[in-house]
Structure 1
Amino acid sequence: MNSQAGINLDISSDSIVDRVYEQLKAMAISYEFKPGERLNEGELAKRLGVSRTPLREALNRLNTEGFLRFTPGKGFFCRELDAHEIFDLYELRKSLEIASVRLAIKRAKDEDIDALLAFLQATGPDPGERSSVELVELDETFHERLMAMSGNAEMLRVLRNVNARIRFVRWIDMDRINRSNTQAEHRAVVEGLKARDEETCVTVLEKHIDRRLDRITSAIKEGYAQIYMPAARG
């Protein structure tokens, strides 16, 4: 009886940590905390309605995953918007996706490829009334479904982390992108995959994901303006 109660307590504790983790992750991604800001654990615990223990577990997890920074003796801080870090993450994303599409050439099922082409058709090249947040979500969905066809779950896990860490900059960058062009590139990659044409897939993905440091720096400047002079981003 006591053993079962202990198991239930552990499950409940894990559930609280997961909930707090997701709430704090969303706040960190959207820079609800200001860059470089020290997080007040007491205020956060009160705001989220939890004790310090699950809060600290969630904060440690976010620090390990690169969403927050921790300084011994000082505490947890919101990460800065650092152009070189974002550039490195884009390079990592490009390397991951190129490696995974090479695996997908060998492993992808035709029905999964056709389903991804249908997804592109359904979401269309026209952004319509979608916000930049919605467009980035669609784009992430496409790239994650493409990577899933590699059959490598660890690559996909890393990609999701990278996507979340560059998401704020991508919201801004999305406003500068011609969606018709990006959707055409998406289609070219998937059609290349269907034809088992590795060279086409790799060439298009390299061009599609690549971001110059100056473009990232420009997006970050705009990001700081949005953080400190917030406007509705729909």
Structure 2
Amino acid sequence: MTAPIAKIRRERGSSVYNTLRHMAIAYQFKPGERLSEIELAERLGVSRTPVREALGRLVTEGFLQPATRGYMRRPLDVQETLDLYEARVAIERECMRLAIKRATDAQVEEACSYLEESRRVPAAAAVQRLVELDEGFHMRIADMAGNSELRRMLLSLNERIRFIRWIDMENVGRDSTQHEHQDILQALRARDPALSERLLSAHIALRRDQIVDAITRGLARIYLPQEQAPPPGAMPPAA
């Protein structure tokens, strides 16, 4: 049976939005690049309406900003990135505070099992996979907090800083991250609020010089020819 037109339109709009959001996250749109509804619609093989709607959502979510006759990819900005990391620290600290009070023993053990499984993933795995595992660990703490709004805010922040985390993961590597995750879980299991907060804050925060370095390396990655150094997590252009 033919699907209702309204359903087809919803599915097409969702697909367009997801594709454009991924391109924005991975900086396939270069910082400051102006985006054309017409060109994007032609590239994706859709009408301009779902493209316009998707671009509007991406402005609201902080990936794009309005420009003359359209939109542009927001620049990689040091102060904005610092602000995002400060917000992430604040949200995750509150999640940890609530998790210590609300997490069940089963949830803590599940997080321990998840960490053990993630540690078996080789450090040579694709960086987007390693960051995905890292985000999964932190989202489990958010789940333990039992606050859907904090979880939603953390998901949004993760997407906006994901490119920087890809670059930082390439530079820092995985061993120290895994050890820090283990220490955080041990403090959570012990229901130690002071230690948990201190370990989590130290683990998440990036200094200004680290952010400047990550942005510098990220911009080099973005502007090199794609065949030499594609952005981490890049997807092939949509047909």
- With normalisation by structure 2, the TM-score equals 0.90
Q: Aligned partners of 2:216 and 2:193: how far apart in 1?
A: 37
Does residue 98 (structure 1) correspond to residue 74 (structure 2)? The answer is no
Does residue 137 (structure 1) correspond to residue 127 (structure 2)? The answer is no
> Aligned residue for 2:25?
29
Select which of 131, 152, 159 maps to 1:164.
159
> Aligned residue for 1:9?
5
* 1:126 positional shift: 6.9
Q: Could you say what the CA RMSD is over the residues aligned between the two structures, in angstroms?
A: 1.8
Q: Which has the higher contact order (CA 8 A, sep 6+)?
A: 2
Q: Aligned partners of 1:126 and 1:184: how far apart in 2?
A: 14
Tell me the amino acid that sits aligned with residue 70 of structure 1: P
- Give yes or no for contact 1:127–1:179 (8 Å, CA) kept in 2: no
Secondary structure in structure 2 of the residue aligned to 1:66: coil
Select which of 172, 181, 193 maps to 1:186.
181
Deviations 1:140-163 (A, max 9, x none): 111111111100111111111111
Secondary structure in structure 1 of the residue aligned to 2:114: helix
> Aligned residue for 1:44?
40
Percent of matched pairs sharing the same residue: 46
* 1:125 positional shift: 7.0
Q: 1:178 to 1:53 in 2, by over 3 A?
A: closer
Secondary structure in structure 2 of the residue aligned to 1:69: strand
Select which of 141, 149, 159 maps to 1:146.
141
Select which of 190, 199, 219 maps to 2:194.
199
Does residue 222 (structure 1) correspond to residue 217 (structure 2)? The answer is yes
**Structure 2 residue ranges without an equivalent (≥5):** 234-239
Tell me the amino acid that sits aligned with residue 18 of structure 2: E
> Aligned residue for 2:237?
none
Q: Aligned partners of 1:27 and 1:138: how far apart in 2?
A: 20
- Give yes or no for contact 1:125–1:180 (8 Å, CA) kept in 2: no
- Give yes or no for contact 2:123–2:174 (8 Å, CA) kept in 1: no
Secondary structure in structure 2 of the residue aligned to 1:149: helix
Q: Aligned partners of 2:24 and 2:121: how far apart in 1?
A: 30
Deviations 1:1-37 (A, max 9, x none): xxxx9x9433332222111110000100111111101
- Aligned structure 1 segments of 4 or more residues deviating by more than 4 angstroms: none
Higher mean alpha-carbon deviation, 97-106 vs 183-192, is at 183-192
Count of equivalent residues: 228
- Give yes or no for contact 1:126–1:180 (8 Å, CA) kept in 2: no
Q: 1:213 to 1:125 in 2, by over 3 A?
A: farther
* 1:178 positional shift: 4.1
> Aligned residue for 1:67?
63
Secondary structure in structure 1 of the residue aligned to 2:171: coil
